[in-house]
């Protein structure tokens, strides 16, 4: 049961991180960079928690194949990797939005 709980935590935290990173992009697109920064920090916290869950799974496996590689494990890992990728891209895209000249309109 412990393994299933860790996998679910990984999924929840990774999904939360992804959602916060996408929210940060939306805020930046609207020119609200303070809100974008807050959302990026929330994304980082969630992704860090997901990474801790991933580390817990790795420690259960102990490098010896004790942890069966099921579809849900692969799915959870995929969620984490996507969240991390979106976080990286959101950070760079927000920096680009900040360089755009302010024209009083939304960037959408």
Looking at the annotation, which residues are catalytic? 75
Q: At what angle do helices 2-29 and 33-61 cross, to 10 degrees?
A: 160
């Amino acid at each position: 049961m412990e393994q299933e709980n860790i996998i679910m935590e990984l999924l929840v935290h990774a999904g939360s991180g992804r959602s916060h990173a996408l929210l940060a992009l939306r805020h930046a697109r609207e020119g609200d960079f303070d809100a974008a920064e807050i959302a990026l920090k929330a994304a980082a916290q969630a992704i860090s928690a997901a990474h801790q869950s991933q580390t817990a799974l790795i420690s259960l496996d102990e490098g010896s194949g004790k942890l069966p590689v099921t579809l849900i494990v692969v799915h959870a890992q995929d969620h984490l990797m996507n969240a991390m990728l979106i976080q990286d891209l959101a950070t760079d895209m927000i920096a680009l939005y900040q360089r755009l000249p302010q024209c009083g309109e939304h960037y959408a």
